Amino acid sequence: MSKKTKKIIISLTTIFLFVGIILILSFTVFSLKNVEINFKTSHAQISQTDEEIIKQGDFGYGHSVFFHSKKKYIENIEKSNPYIEVINIETVFPSTFVVHIAQRQEVYAIENGVNYFITDQNLKILKIENDFASSQNNSILLKGLKIVEKDYKVGDFIQQENYVDVYSALFNCNRTLAEQKSLIKSINLQTEYDEKLDKDLLACNLHLYGGQTVQIKNASYGLKYKLNMFLSVYSQLYSLVGQKINPNDQQDNSVWTEDILNNCIILINNYYNYTQHGEDECYFNILLPN
């Protein structure tokens, strides 16, 4: 046997031994033995214990932590409780999974014929109610959503054609869900024809508990910037009390009063010239109530 052949045999033997050791370790030292739950948020709506959640995951104990389908475990857990959102499953070597969980929040109430879907911002149905009345402590009523017809049940995601996520955009403007619920009574989505662009655009109207209506034009474009402008305008709205409504209007002597501002319309739109104005640029008008 030549020296070259001996070297090849020795090299192959070393490789096989190395692979064998790795496989043995994978199915002994690195076999799944423990699963832990870590809540990243409050979990008042989640009734299951940690042990029950782990059981619902149907984890494959004894198998190598390197060869698990974590996606399936996530699906098992979330299917068992619609309020659970599994952020991720972390592998803690040598033999533990840590399931990081957040509680889904009741953001929207969506009318669907004879009942209401209570959903999170991703339109996952958390529960179904027969009746719903808007208050500053419950979900925001979402109207005008074009739902793809099907037999929905708790745990399903609503399929739709015209949704814009107002909650997440406002959250990115540092407004918590509690603040949003105390401010917005309902959201209405509707399609409006734009003569300048000669096409239909999605509009989003926010009806506030203060009585005002916020009309956001072309809501699919630059929504977070338009909502940020709304918040800025709304915070300074009553500084207009006593000022003229419109110097060029025929009602030159009319002034803004608190009663008028309590029912005014705040219109927010983007500029049409996209070559000179970006998505983050928009303007507002304050209009008299209808």
Q: Helix crossing, 50-57 with 70-80: angle to 10°?
A: 130
Q: Is the pLDDT reported for residue 184 higher than 70?
A: yes
User: Are residues 190 and 69 part of one domain?
Assistant: no
**Above pLDDT 90, what percent of the chain?**
73
Residue 7 in any domain: the answer is no
Three-state DSSP state, 184: strand
Beta-sheet pairing, 84-92 with 96-103:
antiparallel
User: Is pLDDT of 191 > 90?
Assistant: yes
> Which one of 50, 72, 103 terminates a domain?
103
What pLDDT does residue 222 have?
95
Residue 248 lies in a domain: yes
Residue 274's pLDDT is what? 80
Final residue in a domain of this structure, among 86, 103, 120:
103
Residue with tokens 């109610």: 129
| Contacts with 232 (C-beta within 8 Å, 6 or more apart), sequence order | none
Residue 66 pLDDT greater than 90, yes or no: no
H/E run at residue 5: helix 3-26
User: Does 96 share its domain with 116?
Assistant: no
**Residue 90 half-sphere exposure, CB side, CA atoms within 13 Å?**
10
Cα separation, 44 vs 104, in Å, equals 11
141 and 225 both lie in a single domain: yes
**Tokens encoding 202:** 């999605």
Q: Are residues 77 and 144 in the same domain?
A: no
| Cα torsion 182, 186, 187, 193: sign | negative
Sign of CA dihedral 53, 124, 141, 234: positive
Sheet holding 34-39, edge to edge: 34-39, 96-103, 84-92
Q: Give yes or no for residue 20 having a pLDDT over 60.
A: no
- Integer Cα distance of 204 and 222 in angstroms: 12
Residue 232 included in any domain: yes
Q: Do residue 195 and residue 261 come from a single domain?
A: yes
Q: Identify the domain containing residue 42 by its residue range.
A: 34-103
Mean pLDDT of 159-165: 96
Structure tokens at 104: 């889904």
